A and B are shown apart, each in its own frame.
Chain A
Amino acid sequence: MAGLISRGFLGRRRPAEVENRLPPGQYLVTDFPVLSAGPTPHIPLERWSFTVEGMVRSPVTWTWEEFQKLPTQTFTVDISCVTKWTKLDTKWLGVSVDTLLEAVQLDPAGRYVMAYSDGGYTTNLPLDEMVNGQAFVAYQFDDKPLEPVHGGPARLVVPHLYFWKSAKWIRGLRFMERNQPGFWESLGYHIHGDPWKEERYSGD
């Protein structure tokens, strides 16, 4: 369909240094839109836990208190939602997935991960896109505890993929041998979800 010009459309231009950070088809927001498929779970912290399981020698579970003692990092990253908005320089505090993996012995055949959440949400990711500082479990946004509507108490953040991969209300990672679709990936969204390749929907 290349070639159709929208009659009379000029577009809203941003300075090149901003424009270059927006993946194709995305627009800039300064607020923080909320999207989710169902009610926001509200889990008391004393009942929260985080588990790494599946193809690991023995699963590990942290309570909220234990999780808070894990070494943290701050991350300032750009995030892009498949619904077209991109937000620049979002500031998070969380635990890198690398840190979590130090606690388990992974079966080398477990190349894929299913992140799962309170409320039943799931999303799948390749392991090699979650290591080396590419993914973290965040519990602070902008120096404040992460609000439930934005995925608190803790959410996955994988900034180089569309934000549906950054599971809100995350409770664990399950390692798998084969790549299996999660919630949105089963409903027509792309299995991988790279915003720079505009992998929005199945078949893109």
Chain B
Amino acid sequence: MVQPVLEWQAGTVTAIRPETQQTKSFTLALPKWMVHRPGQHYDVRLSAPDGYQTERSYSIASPPERVGELELTVERIPDGEVSPYLHDVLVPGDQLEVRGPIGGYFVWDVSLGGPLLLIAGGSGVVPLMAMLRHRAAQHSTVPARILYSSRTGGDVIYREELDGLAAGDRAFEAFYTFTRQPPAGWTGYRRRIDAGMLAEVIKPFGQRARVYVCGPTLLVEAVANALVEMELPTAQIRTERFGPTGA
């Protein structure tokens, strides 16, 4: 595979949308936009007046069908260096240096087919959302499910959009679980993702499921280990992890 050279470019912030109390989506217009594969990320670089620079990686939330634009959804890490800047300082019209797209394994597009099982913990939903937005933009009928673990009802990113996608698409279903405080009247899962929950959600897909897991290390470890125990071929399990850092 020929890899393009990834150059830094200055994107212009065109919109900032709060998703939850801790997360915001940032839309950038890119002068040298390149098509990406859902699941990939961009590097962001901040530069201080004296030349100090720091970089972080953030997953792409937008589908490749959104030509010329890039949307990054970023969780604010209270003691972080970059995410508080993005949340508290950056405003539309500002410029932000980025380069990408990066990453060639934790990716899915409709050509890979399904059935597709996406498992998210917290802001790990972001790259999976890019996959679902791409799937919808392509009017794909690949069977797809997402199982999404959040602490509380207020922590669910993209809830309305996910429910909207599920309502209009018989081949897609969204499942949620809450580990602390479910929303009022919640009758669904209310525990950490475990083998029993996975067995229920994966059931119609069986051993053919292509699984993408993204979230905190403990969740990803538990889910991937449970899937291996269920004898899902390891080549069908792709993981992306973030620890307590990633600020």
Contact = CB atoms under 8 A, between A and B. Distances in A.
A5 interface: yes
B102 A34 contact: no
B103 A38 contact: no
A7 B245 CA distance: 24
A25 B55 CA distance: 5
B53 A201 contact: no
A24 B245 CA distance: 18
Dominant SS among interface residues on chain A:
loop
Given A4-B47, A5-B48, A37 B89 contact: no
Contact of B105 (A4, A37, A42, A200): A37
Interface residues of A, number: 43
B161 interface: no
Nearest to B107: A187
Contacts of B106: 37
A33 B81 contact: no
Nearest to A201: B6
A5 B53 CA distance: 9
A186 B3 CA distance: 9
A6 interface: yes
Contact of A1 (B3, B10, B227): B10
B104 interface: yes
B8 interface: yes
Given A37-B239, A38-B239, A84 B97 contact: no
Contacts of B245: 29, 31, 33, 85
A49 interface: no
B241 A39 contact: no
Given A6-B47, A9-B85, A187-B104, A203 B224 contact: no
Interface stretch (A10-18, A98-106, A131-139): A10-18
B110 interface: no
Chain B interface size, as a band, is: 35 or more
Contact of A187 (B10, B81, B103, B227): B103
B5 interface: yes
Contact of B238 (A26, A37, A84): A37
Contacts of A184: 105
Interface string B205-247: 0000000000001000100110110000011011101111111
A11 B52 contact: yes
Nearest to A183: B105
B125 interface: no
B91 to A, nearest CB: 9
Given A40-B224, A188-B103, A25 B47 contact: no
Contacts of B243: 31-34
7 contacts: A6-B48, A11-B54, A39-B237, A184-B105, A186-B1, A203-B3, A203-B5
Interface of A: 1, 4-13, 24-27, 29, 31-40, 42, 83-85, 119-120, 149, 183-184, 186-188, 200-204
Given A6-B46, A31-B245, A202-B3, 13 more contacts: A1-B10, A10-B48, A11-B52, A25-B45, A33-B246, A34-B221, A35-B241, A38-B234, A38-B235, A38-B239, A39-B227, A85-B245, A188-B3
